[in-house]
A and B are shown apart, each in its own frame.
Chain A
Amino acid sequence: MFDKERIKEIEKQRERWENTTLPKWISHHPERRKEFRNHSGMQIKRVYTPEDIQEMDYMRDLGFPGEYPFTRGLHATMYRGRIWTMRMFAGYGTAEDTNKRFKYLLSEGETGLSTAFDYPTIMGYDSDHPMARGEVGVCGVAVSSLKDMEILFDGIPLDKVTTSMTINGPASTLLAMYVAVGDKQGVPREKLGGTTQNDNLKEFFAQKLCIFPPKPSLKLSTDVIEYCARHLPKWNPISISGYHIREAGATALQELAFTLYDGIAYVESTLERGLKVDDFAPRLSFFFASHNDFFEEIAKFRAARRLWAKIMKERFHAKNPRSMWMRMHVQTSGCTLTAQQPLNNIVRTTIQALAAVLGGTQSLHTNSFDEALCLPTEEAVRVALRTQQIIAYESGVADTVDPLAGSYYIEALTNEMEEKAMEYIQKIDDMGGAIAAIEKGFFQKEIANSAYRYQREIDEKKRIIVGVNEYTIKGEEEYPLKILRVDPKVEEEQIARLQKVKRERDNRKVKEVLEKLHYAAEKDENLMPTIIEAVKAYATLGEITEVLRKVYGEYKELIVI
């Protein structure tokens, strides 16, 4: 980007500066620390200059927005055309409660729905399972049968909204229910838009909500990808998630590398089904966290986009540019929220959200400031949504595309992120791929070490967390939070409804279709069509999952500390 002579001159001048101006200043004003490092452990220089990006080639490394390698963004005009999707995760209590919250959010100007399910649903248990005690409707909405799904989307036309469902192990069953509701509303399947998280690989080392062992889990994820490619063209079958990897304690670099590797595994697994890469790759989507270190995060998003484009082009020989698109959803990092001085979380979330926007995300969830204490209240959710609206409409950052491009620091950091992520990818390749790395506990060990190091840094005050290890308020602090609680009656009501469904459905038909499912699972068929049939007969989530548990076995976690 710069000619050699010019770089030489800069180098000479830098050396002069380092011998004159700099030491004079430092002798009176020493720096705060001996060395500065970001979360990923990369050393941060005092100042960046054209020297740090002298190898950069504008067209090769950045290009124009909407063109390969998509460093500057997926779309030619980015947010000048359309602001990112403001998608807030919601769901609690019964299907009726969440339905009400959905309608509220739609009326407040939100443009996409996002569903949180309770833990029993996530683990494939019905609300009346013994393991569900005390958990029904607590951290999300309880969905045990198609009946619940019908209520959840009552009065919401499925061809007018897009719905994101945070569900992995039982993703095929929940998607089947959504399809069934669409069928009942008379919405053609090709018009159903939304996302199932369906990323089972990261469960084994990040979110740990695993039901089945790694291989059948990958198979189930692939079933959904294949089915969508053939029948639900507007559905994003998978959201390949770094968010949980990060929240489990990984660094930005590990989040980037491990997520992309999971992506590689899904592509390989789907190719084995006989689909061509361009048949399904355009619908793969990604999900990242945005943490505290502003520039590190921006560099991560930009590097992720460029690296994925290269992988799709060079490793998988994709032809369609859309196959090279890394469409991403970003959530501000939940684990950065503090219980101490909770209002400070609004500021943290703002900085993180800004990084996601400057990193070029397609959609964004901002956390509510009270989430280190409880489920978010309506007021807190509103502030979080307003944060995005202020960034979008008041700050001016959305008015030009990729405004930080060309910053010596940002570009150098983007390059370093990409290089180091490639090193990890190479290492995992050598290990024999994602499943081998999971079985060896490689990801788990890497993440556990980073999590522990991060906590030690906080304990030793090498890392300052405002309100936690510095700038604390003496004595017990009280913030008058209105804590949202789920009425314990929810559990009773939910169980009563489930039992009614079981009484009123055609139980012979249910038995038949579950046997059919068992057979299909043993035959290693794509299970989506049979599961759709099963949910339409009101077979419950627990019953369907139980059949699969019998065939695939249950996963026992590999503990790595």
Chain B
Amino acid sequence: MQSTRKIRVLIAKPGLDSHDRGAKVVARALRDAGMEVIYTGLRQTPEQIVETALQEDVDVIGLSILSGAHKALFPRIMELIKEKGLTDVMVFAGGIIPEEDIPELKKIGIKEVFGPGTPTDKIIKFVLENLPKRT
């Protein structure tokens, strides 16, 4: 039988905020683009997010946050990703994140940050183009 790889994506919401409209719309758009999307619901700790990514062996993690706690939570998530050796996972983020914070987030390994109003097509395209190479 032919080998059939599917793109697996974890959409995760760290922090306490409950604005999941964007996360869900993105999850649905990625699913409709043929991906397998794991959504773990609101208020996930960095530990839970990274542990889920590991067990589900996802290719991509999308983090959504609107509470402003990204500066406290994203570095912790990226640290855990390194710690667990998830070198073949691409991470992107979305939500309300001030422009001036973005360079710092990219420095710690977040590939892209999408603000409000990003078309879902753009996110799908981004995921497809930046899929980590896996052997």
Q: Are chains A and B touching in the complex at the 8 Å CB cutoff?
A: yes
Most buried by B among A456, A469, A561: A561
Q: How far is the CA of A115 from the CA of B73 in the complex (A)?
A: 26
Does chain A have a CB within 8 A of B115?
yes
Tell whether B42 is near chain A: CB-to-CB under 8 Å.
yes
B101-131: CB near A (< 8 Å → 1, else 0) gives 0000000000000011101110000000000
Known pairs A119-B15, A339-B115, A372-B96; A134 contacts B24 (CB<8 A): no
Q: Is A340 touching B72 in the complex (CB atoms < 8 A)?
A: no
A-chain residues with CB within 8 Å of residue B45 when the two chains form the complex: 130-131
Near B by CB (< 8 A), chain A positions 434-460 give 448, 451-452, 455-456, 458-459
| Interfacial chain A residues near B98, Cβ < 8 Å | 373-374, 481, 483
Q: How far is the CA of A133 from the CA of B73 in the complex (A)?
A: 8
Binary CB contact string for chain A from 115 to 152 against chain B (1 if under 8 A, 0 otherwise): 00001101101000011111100110000000000000
A339:B41 contact, CB within 8 angstroms: no
Question: Which residues of chain A have C-beta atoms less than 8 A from B34's C-beta?
Answer: none
Interface size on A, residues (CB 8 A): 46
Report the Cα distance A208→B17, complex, angstroms.
9
Interface string of A218-260 (1 = CB under 8 A from B): 0000000000000000000000000000011100000000000
With known contacts A209-B18, A249-B21, A138–B68 Cβ distance under 8 A: yes
A208, A337, A468: most-surrounded residue (chain B CB, <10 A): A208
Is A375 engaged at the interface, CB distance under 8 Å to the other chain?
A: yes
Contact partners of A469 in chain B: CB under 8 A? 119
Q: How far is the CA of A459 from the CA of B29 in the complex (A)?
A: 11
Give the CA-CA distance A135 to B43 in the complex, in Å.
12
Interface hits, A506-558 → B, CB 8 Å: 556-557
Kindly identify which residue among B15, B24, B96 contacts A374, using a CB–CB cutoff of 8 Å. Answer: B96
Asked if A335 is at the interface (CB within 8 A of a chain B CB), the reply is yes
Indicate which residue in A339, A481, A561 contacts B39 across the interface (CB closer than 8 Å). A561
Known: A120-B16, A373-B96, A373-B98. A139 touches B21 (CB 8 A): no
**A184-210 to B contact mask, C-beta < 8 Å, 1/0:** 000000000000000000000001110
17 contacts between A and B (CB under 8 A): A119-B16, A123-B16, A123-B43, A135-B16, A138-B68, A139-B17, A207-B18, A372-B96, A451-B21, A451-B25, A452-B24, A452-B25, A452-B28, A455-B29, A556-B41, A557-B41, A557-B42
